[in-house]
Amino acid sequence: MAKHTIITMPGDGIGNQVLPEALRVLKTVGFEADYIHADIGWECWCKEGNALPQRTIDLLAKHKLGLFGAITSKPNKAAQEELKPELRGKGYIYYSPIVTMRQKFNLDICMRPCVGFAGNPLNYIRKKAGSGFDEPRIDTTVFRQNTEGMYAGIEWTNPPENVRAALATHAKFKAFANVPGPDLAVSVRVITRSAACRIVTAAFEYAKKRGFKGVTICEKPNVVRETSGMMEETAKEVAKNYPGIALWSANIDAQLMWLNKNPEDYNVIVASNLFGDILSDAFAGLVGGLGFAASGNIGNEVAVFEPTHGSAPKYAELDPAIVNPIAMILSAAMMLDHIGEIEKADLIHRAIAAVVEEGKVRTYDMLRLSGGPKVISQGAASTPQMTDAILRKIETLATAQEHLHAVCR
Ligand code: NAI
Ligand code: MG
């Protein structure tokens, strides 16, 4: 396999703590790659007025694969105040670099696996009808449309006259016709048939690969008739190409109720941008939360893998670092899967599963401690200690595998 070049974008805060841990893991599984650091995030905004500099865009365009840590974003007022004095008042506007990156490279497929590891004390448990509890095995992957929908960014408070005039052509706008401009906010939900088709197809392809029986589309077509309607209609069309896989449909609100009752029944869920964002966080909460939530932003050419969590600034300066590196490491394993390095990805998964199941090494979140420097003295593993445990497991598993190969030859 040709050697890959990976663009590493640690970004802000704990992004700088977890991304290097993922690189240690990639090295230990024998993944040979060149890594190029690229700048992204708050410091770029403050110094350059652009959180996603052109040089980073150029690197991604050239090398196509990225690992991203996390960024800090702040409301517009704080963004303006922290801008370098000579850049202030010059019309710079803060845009989230990750949203910009998704739109710029059309990373329209967002894949968010929410898979429980046995023995994780953070796993969802359910009270049985009689007495006792059970812990269903959750293996859900949410396919979230990543570039359109409510996050298309077409919105106004006090919409300009021509927009108001256009809205007024809709009979339902009569109810808002007298609202003063400054009191009226409008966000446009855009769905295109081609993007809907791509996200649903990605979900079905994944179900086929994993041998799952069905795909659930989560929208609200009975109320949001046009946009959710197009998602649902497209899903029905795409489903015809997959005769062995059922298409189930659940309204978004009902789905959030179902996931508290029988989350194990959902293996593949597909939704538009905002609904997918909500669903993936909700499912992630059932399998360990932010310390375990990995994701891939996948386009036709470029793909960027990242943990779902943010920069957690309150822990960013702690030495040793205390946050859980597993979400970042799982994101790196997703990248391996994406480029066909399936055995290496699998080795990482098995190593994490073994460490979690053994339960000897746990970061503060897994012990349900409130974060801070004292967690180490309370028995929590530091970020590098968690990675060390995973690396040791990788080595043990790899040796066992080699031994097996030798015996069976
Ligand atoms: P956050 O995800 O950074 O942290 C929320 C809380 O979750 C933390 O205080 C911590 O208790 C826990 N947490 C997060 N990652 C963890 C890990 N790896 N291990 C253990 N515990 C972990 O979200 P928050 O505090 O809302 O936002 C902080 C900054 O991050 C903001 O500026 C926000 O805009 C940004 N953000 C960036 C994202 C991205 O880069 N994709 C996503 C979400 C937020
Ligand atoms: Mg989110």
pLDDT per residue as tens digits for the range 7-30:
999 999 999 999 999 999 999 999
pLDDT at 322: 98
For residue 31, which amino acid is it? F
pLDDT above 70 coverage of the chain, percent: 99
User: Is ligand 1 within 6 A of the CB of residue 230?
Assistant: no
Locate tokens 């922290």: which residue? 82
pLDDT mean over 141-157: 95
Is 360 within 8 Å of 303 (Cβ atoms)? no
Average pLDDT value for residue range 159-186: 97
Band of pLDDT at residue 215, cut at 50, 70 and 90: very high
Asked whether the predicted pLDDT for residue 75 surpasses 90, the reply is no
Question: What integer best gives the mean pLDDT of the chain?
Answer: 96
Determine the pLDDT at residue 261: 92
CB 406 within 8 A of CB 40: no
* Ligand 1 proximity of 310 Cβ (cutoff 6 Å): yes
**What pLDDT is attached to residue 1?**
59
CA of 279 to the centre of ligand 2 (A): 9
The pLDDT tens digits of the residues spanning 363-379 come to: 999 999 999 999 999 99
pLDDT band at 405 (very low <50, low <70, confident <90, very high): confident
Burial state string for 296-314 with b = 16 or more CB within 10 A and e = fewer than 16: bbbbeebbbbbbbbbbbee
Could you tell me the distance, in angstroms and rounded to a whole number, from the CA of residue 11 to the centre of ligand 2?
A: 17
Q: What percent of the chain has pLDDT over 90?
A: 93
Do residues 110 and 101 touch, judged by C-beta distance below 8 A?
A: no
CA distances in angstroms from 200 to 1, 113, 272, 370, listed in the order given: 30, 16, 10, 39
What angle do the packed helices 54-63 and 97-104 form, to 10 degrees? 40
Instruction: Give the whole-angstrom CA distance, residue 97 versus residue 50.
Output: 8
Q: Going by C-beta distance under 8 Å and a sequence separation of 6 or more, which residues neighbour residue 187?
A: 150, 154, 155
CA distance linking residue 88 with residue 141, whole number of Å: 43
Average pLDDT for 60-70: 98
Q: How confident is the model at residue 407 (pLDDT cuts 50, 70, 90)?
A: confident
Q: State the Cα–Cα distance between residues 151 and 48, nearest whole angstrom.
A: 25
Q: Please, are residues 387 and 329 in contact by the beta-carbon 8 Å criterion?
A: yes
Find the mean pLDDT for residues 110-121: 97
pLDDT grade, residue 3 (50/70/90)?
A: confident
**377 CA distance to ligand 2 centroid (A)?**
31
Say yes or no to pLDDT of 2 above 80: no
How many other CB atoms sit within 10 Å of the CB of residue 282? Answer: 17
pTM: 0.95
**Is the distance from the beta carbon of residue 101 to the nearest atom of ligand 1 less than 6 Å?**
no
The token pair at 182 is: 């400054």
Does ligand 1 come within 6 angstroms of the Cβ of 97? no
Is any ligand 1 atom within 6 A of the Cβ of residue 19? no
Which residue CA neighbors atom 40 of ligand 1 most closely? 70
Q: What is the pLDDT of residues 314-344, one digit of tens each?
A: 999 999 999 999 999 999 999 999 999 999 9
Task: Kindly report, residue by residue over 21-55, the tens digit of the pLDDT.
Answer: 999 999 999 999 999 999 999 999 999 999 999 99
Q: Which amino acid does the sequence have at 36?
A: I
Residue 173 CB neighbours (<10 A): 14
| Cis peptide bond N-terminal to 320, omega within 30 | yes
